[in-house]
Homo-oligomer: A and B are copies of this chain.
Amino acid sequence: MAITMYDLAGAEAERRFSPFCWRARMALAHKGLDVETIPWRFTEKEKLPQPNAGRVPVIVDGDRVVHDSWAIAEYLDKNYPDRPSLLDGSVGRGLARFVQNWTETVLHIGEIRLVLLDIHGHLGPADQAYFRADRETRFKTTLEDVVKDREARLPAFRASLDPLRRTVERQNFVSGSKPAYPDYIVFGAFQWARAISDFELLAADDPVRAWRGRMLDLFGGLAGRAPAYGG
């Protein structure tokens, strides 16, 4: 029986934009597991299976419910050990945490100030009201103000990608010659932006963009086929 995954969606059901859900989606594909995704919106907290933390991804595998993208990766490695490994040993697992922390403190924080308003533009009315109120409280200003002057902030954002750039210039994937879970962590951040914004984060000749292209092609173009902007 296919695994079910609750996946954050915009007003269009097929527009999936959560960086954390993309981690889980790519991880399931890496394992070669069938998945049926259920579009889920910010304001549908009561629709999630128990237990959950009010956020997605949540997966249901038979009678087991797993929430949190990291917990899902560990669950998949533990329960499907005969499939390709996501975290590959104790050092791989330890360093995946470093990659995650880099992604969340550098990439996510840089990106959110570039695309926050574009997320809002892709939500239905109920989610828009929730999202504006929640994020404006968090940022202590309007969504419009958060992304103001984003053109001016783009060079610093691109410079912050140097560790990633140098890595994927010298090897095909963050994890080496083949992709593994750390690639999906980093890729989730870019797929998030692509899904909801036409603001291009990466210059045409950026090695990071070439790597993103390799990620979009994985698993028969799984991520590349999804509704999104640009390449």
Contact = CB atoms under 8 A, between A and B. Distances in A.
State the majority secondary structure of interface residues on A. Answer: helix
A85 B166 CA distance: 25
Interface stretch (A5-13, A36-44, A177-185, A216-224): A177-185
Interface in A93-113: 93-99, 101-102, 104-106
- How many copies of this protein are present in the complex? 2
A164 interface: yes
A101 B208 CA distance: 14
**How many of chain A's residues touch chain B, expressed as a range?**
20 to 34
A173 to B, nearest CB: 7
A149 interface: no
A162 B105 contact: yes
Interface in A77-132: 85, 87-99, 101-102, 104-106
Interface of A: 85, 87-99, 101-102, 104-106, 162-164, 166-167, 170-171, 173-178, 180, 182
